[in-house]
A and B are shown apart, each in its own frame.
Chain A
Amino acid sequence: MNTNRLGRPVIDLRGVFKTYGEGEAVVHAVDGVDLTVERGDYVAVMGASGSGKSTLMNIIGCLDVPTKGSYRLDGVEVRLLNDQQQSKIRNRKIGFVFQNFNLIARTTALSNVELPMAYAGVSGRERRRRALAALDLVGLAPRVDHTSAELSGGQQQRVAIARAIVTEPVLLLADEPTGALDSHSTDEVLDLFDNLSAAGRTLVVITHEEEVASHAKRVIKMRDGMISSDRRLVAVAAPPPRLRQTTGRAS
């Protein structure tokens, strides 16, 4: 599997289990998952609610640690990290996009996008330059000074995407990114993802919509905490299947 240019996968899950509760009431949310995601891949993780896909996403996003098994994110064993180090690895290696945007309230788009760089210790001027570039990339350059309350759902999600990519993370992790959007905004966001993928970024999108999954290069289906199918649509190095050069200006 390790045949990509940099030699190591972005995500490398080996025998991962996650259980909640004890004894009789034990719940196996993730029940033995092996998964490798190569650099530049665009993976959709599908499954009904209760299939364990959200738990898997929390593990992949370093928001939760597996009960058993090994998870290497870009070569780093996450289980060995403490709370502070997990914060750091989330900051450096992962960009999150959530269903409900999760922008900081009463704060401008620009400040929201600058935030991860603030925690990374990037200087003020550099931070502003990169935040403006990221907002330009998602097509929101004219709205940098708007607070989230002054932006539509689609615009808020694009701010969230700008915030996710501004630190140049190795992994862009999206949890139901279009779940709260209308069809027009959904298309905008998915086009943006296609462009980011075409630009060489690694994306993992958790979704239950076939429409969203059809944009990915590889579709993984989960059931009862296990991977039930793993289907590749196009090669890792190929452009995403539904790429259209219309919105955004992916570099």
Chain B
Amino acid sequence: MNVSESVKFAWRGVTANKARSALTMLGVLIGVASVIVLVAVGTGASQSVTDTLSSLGTNTLTVRPGSSSGGFFGGGAGAGSGGGDTTTTDTGTSTRAATLTMADAEALSDPTLAPDVVEVAPVVTASSVAATYESASHTVNSTTGSTAAYLSINNDTVASGRAFTDADYNAHSRVLLVGPTVAKDLVGGDGSDILNKTIRLNGKAFTVIGILEAKGSTGQIDSDDRIIAPATAVQDHLSGYGNLSSISVQASSADTVNDAQTQVESILDARHHTTAADRDFNVSNSASFLSAASSITSIFTVLLGAIAGISLLVGGIGVMNIMLVTVTERTREIGIRKAIGAGKYDIIFQFLLEAVMLSVIGGLAGIGLGYLICQIEIAGFKAIVAPYSVALAFSFALAVGLFFGIYPAMRAASLKPIDALRYE
């Protein structure tokens, strides 16, 4: 008995009852397609999160006041805030000790003590700033005062107009950069008319010298609803001369970011007379946040895949069910085959092959369907078909066919020809 002959017999079995075979395959098809789609959604989401976080810079550190008792996620939030919404009020468990000063920020730009630090930007924030222009008014979500270096540290670029300079900073110039949301809200249209106009922030006149590149929104937070101005001017007119809300630090590269963190911590420890145990500030590292975020998303991907795997298992049980029916239905045929010389293994092979055919054809169709579904954009990001998920789903379908086919096939093969021939 050669293989092609068995394939022919098995194929004849599959096609003998097309509707039933198709429905059985549908179970496996849905299982395989859902494994591929859900893993693709997970992978896509993970990619999207990683991209968003990378766009915030992977070589930045954010120093915030308060002890690090807020833990890892407190630090993580800090890194996210470094991306632009620096006014995010710290409602974490850490007590917000007012401990970061301009002097601290200046101390960090020490090429000897902190060789891996390339840029330092002190950040002051003002909350609930009302921006008005003519009759329009807008409450800005995020008002940041910093130095010229802030933009490069946070991967911010100016779409039109110019960025402010160190000269503007030193001169306490009342100039500012606005996010697209603020611009649109104040002047209407695409917001480009706001350039070089004078707007009022809490009643104080500022000149718009540039419009920031759109960053889009991350979840509920609109990253474009913000303004950035020289810290000196913000302190003069909006926030007062309190302590800094944070210091943004850029390391020379993503590889040196951990070294830079150590250097920053030791400089500030020395200035604040603290140690790792009783620090009144914490340094968050965007690279570690990124790796935490990707490990979380990969857990979700595995979870989604596992849930989809259950439907594949259910599909496999469908295959077994139909194969048991088939064996019962074809008891007589099995008897004939055994009488004219089919051995135990010939029968096992034939029915096993039939089960595998059902699951493999269903699996291939499921891969096709999975690919099609993944072409659709889901929740604003594109699902990315992971090759491993295709291989995994297909081999799982194959295994399901083998596993759930073996019992019916054994049952068929163990029929005694004399009983099988008598079966009506």
- B-contact 0/1 string along A55-72, CB 8 Å cutoff: 000100101100000000
* Complex-state Cα separation, A153 to B261, whole angstroms: 92
Q: Mark A65-91, 1 if CB is under 8 A from B, else 0.
A: 000000000000000000110011011
Provide the bound-state CA to CA distance between A96 and B341, in Å: 10
Interface residues of B in 322-376 (CB under 8 A from A): 332-333, 335-346
Selected contact of B341 from candidates A88, A102, A103, CB within 8 Å: A88
Distance in Å: Cβ of A92 to nearest Cβ of chain B: 7
Q: For window 3-53 of chain B, which residues contact chain A by CB distance below 8 Å?
A: 5, 12, 16
B418 near A119: Cβ-Cβ < 8 Å: no
Chain B residues with CB under 8 Å of A92's CB are 341
Whether the Cβ atoms of A88 and B340 lie closer than 8 Å is no
> Is B341 a contact of A119 with CB atoms below 8 Å?
yes
A115 touches B333 (CB 8 A): no
Minimum CB distance partner of B333 in chain A: A104
Q: Which of A96, A107, A121, A167 contacts B339 (CB 8 A)?
A: A96
Task: Point out the residue from B16, B341, B344 that lies within 8 Å of A83, measured CB to CB.
Answer: B344
Q: Which residues of A contact B341 (CB under 8 A)?
A: 87-88, 90-92, 116, 119-120, 167
Please state if A119 and B417 are interface contacts (CB–CB under 8 Å). Answer: no
* B421 x A102 contact (CB < 8 A): yes
Interface residues of B in 211-229 (CB under 8 A from A): none
Q: How far is the CA of A101 from the CA of B262 in the complex (A)?
A: 89
Once A58-B418, A115-B337, A118-B1 are accepted as A-B contacts, the answer to whether A106 and B12 lie under 8 Å apart by CB is: yes
Is B89 interfacial (CB 8 A cutoff)?
no
Query: Which residue among A64, A92, A115 has the maximum number of chain B CB atoms within 10 Å of its CB?
Result: A115
Contacts of A104 in B (CB 8 A): 333, 336-337
B343, A84: Cβ atoms under 8 Å? yes
The closest CB in chain A to the CB of B335 belongs to A102
B2 within 8 A of A: yes
Question: Across the interface, do A119 and B346 meet the contact criterion of CB distance under 8 Å?
Answer: yes
Cβ of A163 within 8 Å of any chain B Cβ, yes or no, is: yes
Separation in Å of the A159 CB from the closest CB of chain B?
12
Q: How far is the CA of A99 from the CA of B335 in the complex (A)?
A: 14
A107 CA to B1 CA in the complex, in Å? 18
A98–B417 Cα distance when bound, in Å, is 13
The size bracket of the interface on A is 20 to 34
Interface residues of A in 101-153 (CB under 8 A from B): 102-107, 115-116, 118-121
Residues of A close to B335: CB separation below 8 A: 102
With A102-B339, A104-B333 in contact, do A64 and B1 touch (Cβ < 8 Å)?
A: no
Q: What chain A residues lie within 8 Å of B340 (beta carbons)?
A: 90-91, 96, 115-116, 119, 163
Q: CB distance B418 to A107 under 8 Å?
A: no
Task: State how many angstroms separate the Cβ of A238 from the closest Cβ of chain B.
Answer: 31
Minimum CB–CB distance from B132 to chain A (whole Å) comes to: 84
Contact with A along B297-334 (1 / 0, CB 8 A): 00000000000000000000000000000000000110
CB distance from A131 to the nearest CB of B (A): 13
- Nearest chain A residue, comparing its CB with the CB of B4: A124
Cβ contacts under 8 Å, B5 to chain A:
118
By the criterion CB–CB under 8 Å, are B333 and A87 in contact? no
Residues of B373-420 whose CB lies within 8 A of A: 416-418
CB distance from A58 to the nearest CB of B (A): 5
Most chain-B CB neighbours within 10 Å: which of A64, A118, A163? Answer: A118
Complex: A58 Cα to B335 Cα, angstroms: 13
Asked if A121 meets B418 with Cβ closer than 8 Å, knowing A87-B343, A104-B333, A115-B340, the reply is no
On chain B, the residues within 8 Å of A116 by CB distance are 340-341
Q: Which of B16, B333, B339, B343 contacts A63 (CB 8 A)?
A: B339
B330 to chain A, nearest CB (A): 9
B12 to chain A, nearest CB (A): 7
Q: How far is the CB of B6 from chain A (nearest CB, A)?
A: 9
Q: How far is the CA of A103 from the CA of B1 in the complex (A)?
A: 19
Q: How far is the CB of B422 from chain A (nearest CB, A)?
A: 10
Q: A122–B333 Cα gap in the complex (Å)?
A: 21
Q: How far apart are the CA atoms of A17 and B337 in the complex, in Å?
A: 27
Check if B343 sits within 8 Å of A121, measured CB to CB: no
A96 to B336 alpha-carbon distance, docked (Å): 9
Q: Is the CB of B343 within 8 A of A119?
A: yes
Q: How far is the CB of B416 from chain A (nearest CB, A)?
A: 8
CA–CA, A103 and B337, complex, Å: 10
Cβ of B342: which chain A residues have Cβ within 8 Å of it?
87, 91, 119
Tell me, in angstroms, the Cα distance from A24 to B421 when the chains sit together.
28
- A148 vs B144: C-alpha distance when bound (angstroms): 87
Nearest opposing residue in chain B for A120, CB measure? B341
Complex Cα distance, B5 from A118, in Å, reads: 7
B5 nearest CB neighbor, chain A only:
A118
A58 to B421 CA separation, bound complex (whole angstroms): 11
Q: In the bound complex, what is the Cα–Cα distance between A105 and B343 (angstroms)?
A: 20
Task: Find chain A residues with CB under 8 A from B346 CB.
Answer: 87, 119
The chain B residue sitting closest to A55, CB to CB, is: B418
B-contact bits for A15-44, CB 8 A (1 contact / 0 none): 000000000000000000000000000000
- In this complex, what residue of A is CB-closest to B16? A106
Question: In the complex, are the beta carbons of B16 and A90 less than 8 A apart?
Answer: no
Contact, CB under 8 Å: B333 / A84: no
Task: Enumerate chain B interface residues (CB-CB to A < 8 A).
Answer: 1-2, 5, 12, 16, 332-333, 335-346, 416-418, 421
A-B contact pairs, 16 of them (CB 8 A): A58-B418, A61-B339, A63-B417, A64-B418, A83-B343, A90-B340, A96-B340, A102-B335, A102-B421, A103-B336, A106-B12, A115-B340, A116-B341, A118-B2, A119-B337, A121-B1
7 nearest CB pairs, A to B: A91-B341, A87-B343, A119-B341, A63-B418, A116-B340, A102-B336, A84-B343
Residues of A within 8 A of B (CB): 58, 61, 63-64, 83-84, 87-88, 90-92, 96, 98, 102-107, 115-116, 118-121, 163, 167
| Given A64-B418, A88-B343, A96-B340; 19 other pairs, CB 8 A cutoff | A63-B339, A63-B416, A83-B343, A84-B344, A87-B341, A87-B344, A88-B341, A91-B342, A96-B339, A102-B336, A102-B421, A106-B16, A118-B1, A118-B5, A119-B340, A119-B346, A121-B2, A163-B340, A167-B341
